Amino acid sequence: MITIPESDLVVHPLCLGGNVFGWSADESASHAVLDAYFAHGGNFIDTADVYSEWKEGNSGGDSEKIIGTWMKARGNRDKVVIATKVAKFSKRPGLSATNILAACEESLNRLQSDYIDLYYSHEDDAKVPMEETLGAYAQLIAQGKVRNIAASNFTAARLAQALRFSAENSLPSYIAVQDQYNLMAREPFESETAPVLLENSISCLPFFGLARGFLTGKYRPGITIESVRAAGVSDYLNEKGYGVIEALDLIAKNHNASIAAVALGWLRSNPAVSAPIASARTVEQLNEIIQVVELSATEVETLNAIS
């Protein structure tokens, strides 16, 4: 277990992504994945109010509802750390105080919980003054409805500005950042965001840690994959991408681990990262990502060079 910097959140080194719950995994399959994750000692689950509004027939909040019914059935709310988000749901857009307060209540109802452990601004909202947004979070924290706040999809400049504003005005501060970061997408995180995180002693919980599934190794030359995410990996199906997979293959064999576990291990080797996020539609996929692999400096450098 690790402690997320600047917080009292003690979590498993893999944060289980809930974006597939209610999308490519129905409630029964989702509960099976959650059970398997919990059985492995996992306790950190990431979701959002907007998941999975994009699926035909869904209305949003689907992932939160599934996680809520699972926690209710298992009676384990006090044993898990729940992260959810506000700002991108079409019914609750933006970071106005009114919207944040209403969205939080709705998320709590869907999760069947009295509190949220980590509440993200899912994207920046430059139209709303920072004082208003952070003031709303201050109210929720004072009420015990939110324990910590974090930011997602912020530019490095806006993140730095928000952190300064919090410090100068005695307002709650973002204790973590969620951004895209993986072996196939290293910028602008490494050159822009990571320095801000290290300067402020906070960390990143990267999403798309497996590059939409490409870094599981299932995408190979001449192989066609049927997946709702297949179109998202088209940019990686080239000499560089297959070179990364080949390097991961060799390292995975040395550790008797899956390629996915090694790719997530590379993320953890970055001092600006705490727990990467990865999702699983099935228990078999969960078993591929749950192993925590510690890479040697040489292995990290090999992957840095090839990617």
Mean pLDDT, all residues of the chain:
96
Q: Classify domain 2-214+272-294 by CATH number.
A: 3.20.20.100
CB 163 within 8 A of CB 198: no
Write out pLDDT tens, residues 43-70: 999 999 999 999 999 999 999 999 999 9
CB 259 within 8 A of CB 273: no
Q: How much is the pLDDT for 228?
A: 60
Specify the higher pLDDT residue, 224 or 117.
117
Query: Which of 5-14, 114-123, 224-233 shows the lowest mean pLDDT across its residues?
Result: 224-233
- Domain limits, the chain: 2-214+272-294
Alpha helices in the chain (DSSP H): 27-39, 62-74, 97-111, 130-142, 156-169, 194-200, 239-255, 259-268, 283-289, 297-306
**Secondary-structure percent of the chain, ordered helix, strand, coil, rounded to 5:** 45, 15, 40
pTM of the shown model: 0.95
